[in-house]
Structure 1
Protein backbone atom coordinates (compact mmCIF):
# COMPACT_ATOMS: atom_id res chain seq x y z
CA UNK A 1 0.00 0.00 0.00
CA UNK A 2 1.37 3.41 -0.97
CA UNK A 3 1.41 5.87 1.95
CA UNK A 4 -0.78 8.94 1.64
CA UNK A 5 -1.87 11.75 3.94
CA UNK A 6 -5.02 13.73 4.67
CA UNK A 7 -4.17 16.27 1.96
CA UNK A 8 -3.97 13.41 -0.56
CA UNK A 9 -7.37 12.17 0.59
CA UNK A 10 -8.87 15.66 0.34
CA UNK A 11 -7.52 16.10 -3.19
CA UNK A 12 -8.75 12.66 -4.25
CA UNK A 13 -12.23 13.37 -2.91
CA UNK A 14 -12.44 16.78 -4.61
CA UNK A 15 -11.40 15.21 -7.91
CA UNK A 16 -13.96 12.41 -7.47
CA UNK A 17 -17.11 14.29 -6.45
CA UNK A 18 -19.42 14.69 -9.44
CA UNK A 19 -23.07 14.89 -10.42
CA UNK A 20 -23.28 11.09 -10.56
CA UNK A 21 -22.22 10.77 -6.91
CA UNK A 22 -24.32 13.68 -5.61
CA UNK A 23 -27.36 12.96 -3.45
CA UNK A 24 -30.45 12.93 -5.69
CA UNK A 25 -32.11 15.41 -3.30
CA UNK A 26 -29.27 17.88 -3.87
CA UNK A 27 -28.63 17.26 -7.56
CA UNK A 28 -30.67 20.24 -8.84
CA UNK A 29 -28.28 22.59 -6.99
CA UNK A 30 -25.03 20.68 -7.65
CA UNK A 31 -22.45 22.27 -9.95
CA UNK A 32 -18.69 21.90 -10.48
CA UNK A 33 -18.07 25.22 -8.72
CA UNK A 34 -19.34 23.64 -5.47
CA UNK A 35 -18.43 19.96 -5.89
CA UNK A 36 -18.87 19.05 -2.20
CA UNK A 37 -22.60 19.84 -2.45
CA UNK A 38 -24.63 16.71 -1.79
CA UNK A 39 -21.65 14.53 -0.87
CA UNK A 40 -21.42 14.73 2.92
CA UNK A 41 -23.01 11.37 3.73
CA UNK A 42 -20.93 9.17 1.44
CA UNK A 43 -17.79 11.20 2.15
CA UNK A 44 -18.29 10.70 5.90
CA UNK A 45 -18.72 6.96 5.30
CA UNK A 46 -15.53 6.82 3.27
CA UNK A 47 -13.58 8.71 5.96
CA UNK A 48 -15.06 6.28 8.50
CA UNK A 49 -13.79 3.38 6.36
CA UNK A 50 -10.29 4.81 6.54
CA UNK A 51 -10.08 6.20 10.08
CA UNK A 52 -12.95 4.74 12.11
CA UNK A 53 -14.26 7.00 14.85
CA UNK A 54 -17.81 8.33 14.99
CA UNK A 55 -20.28 9.44 12.35
CA UNK A 56 -21.89 12.75 13.30
CA UNK A 57 -25.08 14.16 11.79
CA UNK A 58 -26.72 17.54 12.29
CA UNK A 59 -29.70 19.43 10.94
CA UNK A 60 -29.08 22.03 8.22
CA UNK A 61 -31.10 25.23 8.61
CA UNK A 62 -31.42 28.21 6.28
CA UNK A 63 -33.55 31.21 7.15
CA UNK A 64 -34.96 29.34 10.15
CA UNK A 65 -36.16 26.36 8.08
CA UNK A 66 -34.64 22.89 8.23
CA UNK A 67 -33.23 22.06 4.80
CA UNK A 68 -31.83 18.58 5.39
CA UNK A 69 -28.97 16.95 7.26
CA UNK A 70 -25.20 17.20 7.22
CA UNK A 71 -22.75 14.37 7.99
CA UNK A 72 -19.13 14.49 9.13
CA UNK A 73 -16.67 12.54 11.28
CA UNK A 74 -15.29 12.62 14.80
CA UNK A 75 -12.02 10.74 14.89
CA UNK A 76 -11.05 8.49 17.81
CA UNK A 77 -8.87 11.27 19.27
CA UNK A 78 -11.86 13.64 19.38
CA UNK A 79 -10.92 15.73 16.33
CA UNK A 80 -13.92 16.58 14.16
CA UNK A 81 -13.19 16.22 10.46
CA UNK A 82 -15.64 17.73 7.98
CA UNK A 83 -14.34 17.55 4.42
CA UNK A 84 -17.57 18.88 2.86
CA UNK A 85 -18.43 21.81 5.15
CA UNK A 86 -17.55 24.41 2.50
CA UNK A 87 -20.62 23.38 0.51
CA UNK A 88 -22.68 25.70 2.72
CA UNK A 89 -22.25 29.13 1.15
CA UNK A 90 -25.64 30.75 1.73
CA UNK A 91 -25.45 31.15 5.50
CA UNK A 92 -26.74 27.72 6.47
CA UNK A 93 -26.30 26.68 10.09
CA UNK A 94 -25.83 23.19 11.47
CA UNK A 95 -27.67 22.38 14.71
CA UNK A 96 -28.87 19.44 16.79
CA UNK A 97 -25.82 17.29 16.16
CA UNK A 98 -25.75 13.69 17.27
CA UNK A 99 -23.44 10.71 16.94
CA UNK A 100 -24.93 7.80 15.01
CA UNK A 101 -23.74 4.22 14.81
CA UNK A 102 -22.94 2.88 11.38
CA UNK A 103 -25.23 -0.05 10.60
CA UNK A 104 -23.47 -3.34 9.92
CA UNK A 105 -23.26 -4.66 6.40
CA UNK A 106 -23.14 -2.90 3.07
CA UNK A 107 -24.24 0.69 2.58
CA UNK A 108 -27.91 0.57 1.62
CA UNK A 109 -28.88 4.21 1.14
CA UNK A 110 -26.88 5.66 -1.77
CA UNK A 111 -24.85 2.46 -2.01
CA UNK A 112 -24.12 2.85 -5.72
CA UNK A 113 -22.84 6.41 -5.27
CA UNK A 114 -20.75 5.37 -2.25
CA UNK A 115 -19.13 2.52 -4.19
CA UNK A 116 -18.46 4.79 -7.17
CA UNK A 117 -16.83 7.40 -4.91
CA UNK A 118 -14.73 4.68 -3.20
CA UNK A 119 -13.63 3.39 -6.60
CA UNK A 120 -12.60 6.84 -7.83
CA UNK A 121 -10.74 7.72 -4.63
CA UNK A 122 -9.03 4.32 -4.65
CA UNK A 123 -7.94 4.87 -8.25
CA UNK A 124 -6.18 8.05 -7.11
CA UNK A 125 -4.75 6.82 -3.79
CA UNK A 126 -4.28 3.11 -4.34
CA UNK A 127 -6.17 0.27 -2.67
CA UNK A 128 -8.32 1.40 0.25
CA UNK A 129 -8.84 -0.66 3.40
CA UNK A 130 -12.09 -2.54 3.73
CA UNK A 131 -14.98 -0.52 5.19
CA UNK A 132 -15.12 -0.13 8.98
CA UNK A 133 -17.96 -2.00 10.63
Structure 2
Protein backbone atom coordinates (compact mmCIF):
# COMPACT_ATOMS: atom_id res chain seq x y z
CA UNK A 1 0.00 0.00 0.00
CA UNK A 2 1.24 3.51 -0.71
CA UNK A 3 1.94 5.86 2.20
CA UNK A 4 -0.79 8.43 2.76
CA UNK A 5 -0.48 11.93 4.09
CA UNK A 6 -3.17 14.30 5.28
CA UNK A 7 -2.59 16.86 2.54
CA UNK A 8 -3.16 14.26 -0.20
CA UNK A 9 -6.21 12.91 1.62
CA UNK A 10 -7.70 16.38 2.13
CA UNK A 11 -7.14 17.28 -1.54
CA UNK A 12 -8.66 14.00 -2.72
CA UNK A 13 -11.71 14.36 -0.46
CA UNK A 14 -12.43 17.85 -1.80
CA UNK A 15 -12.39 16.39 -5.30
CA UNK A 16 -14.61 13.43 -4.39
CA UNK A 17 -17.29 14.94 -2.15
CA UNK A 18 -20.44 15.53 -4.19
CA UNK A 19 -24.21 15.74 -3.94
CA UNK A 20 -24.53 11.98 -4.44
CA UNK A 21 -22.35 11.28 -1.38
CA UNK A 22 -23.94 13.96 0.81
CA UNK A 23 -26.16 12.94 3.72
CA UNK A 24 -29.83 13.08 2.69
CA UNK A 25 -30.45 15.32 5.73
CA UNK A 26 -28.08 17.96 4.32
CA UNK A 27 -28.66 17.50 0.61
CA UNK A 28 -31.09 20.44 0.21
CA UNK A 29 -28.32 22.77 1.46
CA UNK A 30 -25.35 21.06 -0.24
CA UNK A 31 -23.43 23.16 -2.74
CA UNK A 32 -19.99 22.84 -4.35
CA UNK A 33 -18.93 25.99 -2.47
CA UNK A 34 -19.32 24.00 0.76
CA UNK A 35 -18.41 20.46 -0.36
CA UNK A 36 -17.77 19.13 3.17
CA UNK A 37 -21.42 19.67 4.13
CA UNK A 38 -23.11 16.36 4.86
CA UNK A 39 -19.92 14.29 4.61
CA UNK A 40 -18.61 14.11 8.18
CA UNK A 41 -19.78 10.56 8.94
CA UNK A 42 -18.43 8.81 5.85
CA UNK A 43 -15.28 10.95 5.86
CA UNK A 44 -14.57 9.95 9.47
CA UNK A 45 -14.98 6.31 8.45
CA UNK A 46 -12.51 6.68 5.58
CA UNK A 47 -9.99 8.38 7.89
CA UNK A 48 -10.50 5.48 10.31
CA UNK A 49 -9.89 3.03 7.45
CA UNK A 50 -6.59 4.72 6.61
CA UNK A 51 -5.20 5.74 10.00
CA UNK A 52 -7.12 3.77 12.64
CA UNK A 53 -7.98 5.42 15.94
CA UNK A 54 -11.42 6.23 17.28
CA UNK A 55 -14.60 7.71 15.86
CA UNK A 56 -15.79 10.78 17.75
CA UNK A 57 -19.28 12.32 17.65
CA UNK A 58 -20.87 15.42 19.14
CA UNK A 59 -24.29 17.02 18.87
CA UNK A 60 -24.51 20.10 16.65
CA UNK A 61 -26.46 23.06 18.08
CA UNK A 62 -27.51 26.35 16.53
CA UNK A 63 -29.31 29.01 18.55
CA UNK A 64 -29.86 26.52 21.37
CA UNK A 65 -31.50 23.88 19.17
CA UNK A 66 -29.93 20.56 18.26
CA UNK A 67 -29.39 20.36 14.50
CA UNK A 68 -27.88 16.90 14.15
CA UNK A 69 -24.54 15.27 14.84
CA UNK A 70 -20.97 15.84 13.75
CA UNK A 71 -18.37 13.08 13.34
CA UNK A 72 -14.59 13.30 13.35
CA UNK A 73 -11.56 11.22 14.35
CA UNK A 74 -9.16 10.73 17.21
CA UNK A 75 -5.99 9.26 15.77
CA UNK A 76 -3.98 6.61 17.67
CA UNK A 77 -1.61 9.42 18.78
CA UNK A 78 -4.53 11.13 20.56
CA UNK A 79 -4.69 14.01 18.06
CA UNK A 80 -8.21 14.89 16.96
CA UNK A 81 -8.63 15.29 13.22
CA UNK A 82 -11.71 16.89 11.69
CA UNK A 83 -11.56 17.21 7.91
CA UNK A 84 -15.15 18.49 7.57
CA UNK A 85 -15.49 21.09 10.33
CA UNK A 86 -15.43 23.89 7.76
CA UNK A 87 -18.99 22.98 6.77
CA UNK A 88 -20.25 24.86 9.84
CA UNK A 89 -20.45 28.51 8.82
CA UNK A 90 -23.29 29.87 10.95
CA UNK A 91 -21.97 29.76 14.51
CA UNK A 92 -22.92 26.18 15.29
CA UNK A 93 -21.57 24.74 18.53
CA UNK A 94 -20.90 21.14 19.57
CA UNK A 95 -21.53 19.17 22.73
CA UNK A 96 -18.64 17.44 24.42
CA UNK A 97 -17.43 14.69 22.12
CA UNK A 98 -17.86 11.03 22.88
CA UNK A 99 -16.15 8.10 21.23
CA UNK A 100 -18.26 5.61 19.33
CA UNK A 101 -17.43 2.03 18.48
CA UNK A 102 -17.36 1.44 14.76
CA UNK A 103 -20.06 -1.05 13.80
CA UNK A 104 -18.70 -4.20 12.16
CA UNK A 105 -19.58 -4.95 8.56
CA UNK A 106 -21.88 -2.91 6.36
CA UNK A 107 -23.14 0.29 7.93
CA UNK A 108 -26.83 0.42 8.82
CA UNK A 109 -27.00 3.89 7.21
CA UNK A 110 -25.05 5.55 4.34
CA UNK A 111 -23.31 2.36 3.17
CA UNK A 112 -23.72 3.12 -0.57
CA UNK A 113 -22.36 6.67 -0.14
CA UNK A 114 -19.41 5.41 1.90
CA UNK A 115 -18.55 2.83 -0.76
CA UNK A 116 -18.89 5.44 -3.52
CA UNK A 117 -16.58 7.85 -1.68
CA UNK A 118 -13.97 5.10 -1.20
CA UNK A 119 -14.21 4.19 -4.89
CA UNK A 120 -13.71 7.82 -5.91
CA UNK A 121 -10.70 8.20 -3.62
CA UNK A 122 -8.82 5.22 -5.07
CA UNK A 123 -7.57 6.97 -8.25
CA UNK A 124 -6.21 9.79 -6.07
CA UNK A 125 -4.70 7.73 -3.23
CA UNK A 126 -4.15 4.29 -4.66
CA UNK A 127 -5.63 1.11 -3.19
CA UNK A 128 -7.29 1.64 0.17
CA UNK A 129 -7.08 -0.90 2.99
CA UNK A 130 -9.90 -3.40 3.38
CA UNK A 131 -13.07 -2.14 4.99
CA UNK A 132 -13.01 -2.73 8.74
State the distance in 2 between where 1:105 and 1:9 align: 23
Question: What SS does the aligned partner of 1:70 have?
Answer: strand
Per-residue CA deviation, residues 64-121 of structure 1 (Å, 9 max, x unaligned), is 1000000000011100000000000000011132100001112221000000000001
Q: Which moved more, 1:76-85 or 1:94-103?
A: 94-103
Q: Which moved more, 1:103-112 or 1:30-39?
A: 103-112
Gap regions ≥5 residues in structure 2? none
2:104 maps to 1:104: yes
Equivalences for residues 34-73 of structure 1 within 5 A:
34-73=34-73
CA RMSD of aligned residues (A): 0.9
In the superposition, the TM-score normalised over structure 2's length comes to 0.96
State the distance in 2 between where 1:118 and 1:56 align: 20
Corresponding residue number in structure 1 for 2:25:
25
Question: What SS does the aligned partner of 1:96 have?
Answer: coil
Report how many aligned residue pairs link the two structures.
132
State the distance in 2 between where 1:56 and 1:4 align: 21
Asked whether the 8 Å contact 1:53–1:76 carries over to 2, the reply is yes
